[in-house]
Structure 1
Amino acid sequence: MSFEQCQRVTSLMADFEKPWFFAGGWAIDIFIGEETREHEDIEIAVFRKDQLRLKNYLKGWEFKKVIKGGFHSWDQEFLDLPIHEIHAANPVNGEKIEILLNETDEGEWKFRRDLRISYPHNSISGVSKKGIPYLNPDIVLLYKAKNTREKDHLDFHAVKEYLDDEKKTRLRNALETHEPDHEWLQFLL
């Protein structure tokens, strides 16, 4: 995986008229402006309410919803929680994208694992100098804080010095609410 693939996805999504953002490790690297580690896949985030529009936008792609770790065909039904992950594949060129459904309510993004944590829509994302949209790193790290893997620690340590005070505070407050014993808290003082 490379930034070139992120550019291809950005071009693919250029005419999608709803908000979308790179998520996961790529969001961290896009925010920083350089690739800090190898990536296994490309993840994008969309608001749950826009899932069927995205499916129609990617007409011809094959979709699988993930339920308890298993892959199942996704027809035209609206996916509610706890389903939050969709895998899309272009049968023509083999390109794959993991789609992560994000919760939203009345102009607020909601953390699906703890709905007490929410932020205004206009504060959850950014756009790189190359025009690539990304989910802000504090939100990406909040998701990565559960069952933290080695790559999640790499992402945290790669981006922590780039976080401004607002993002550090938001992440610290969210972790204190949702994962109060998380080891990253010591670095967010």
Structure 2
Amino acid sequence: MSENSEAPGTPSAAAATGSGGGAPTPPGPRPEPIRFFGTTWVDHDGGYGLRRVGVAAGSLAAAVGSCLALRFAFQGLAIAEVDSIVGVLVIVMFAVCSAIAFRKTWESFGARPKDPAREDSLRGLKSIGFIGSLLAYFFRSLIEAPGEKLHRAEYESARTQFEKRRATRTGNPAARKRPKRR
């Protein structure tokens, strides 16, 4: 969730009053936008399929480009004629960091982090293993928009809670059954 957004499932003040530009927003929770997808993940409209293809191709191209850049860096080590142990350590470091970054990125698509402080402490490690994060993004975009499952579960839960509160609230004219007129 971004720092400017509200808790999942709560309408903003602009949504509640209907202000903010165009047509009035329906009451209730609004879906949280996903990077590169906005809210197209809700109904799979607005070029959702093309966006998934674009994200998959872009993340794979970035991963391949990153591997080429790392290869050039490794060739620089070979030109500098450093010990073979240094080359092995560099390869092992990038492999381990990429594996951890892949796992953490993949897990972030399914659940919110339980300990945000721990995630912040792993930020440097994940930036070293950026290839793993890019590959996780690629593989997840083949299945769905990265993070869609988590956002959908939160949105559906918020909608259910909103409908339950709205239906059981006393004095709510919108929830009352209207008598049939003859």
- Using the size of structure 1 for normalisation, the TM-score is 0.20
Question: Radius of gyration: which is bigger?
Answer: 2
Structure with the larger strand share: 1
Structure with the larger helix share: 2
- Using the size of structure 2 for normalisation, the TM-score is 0.21
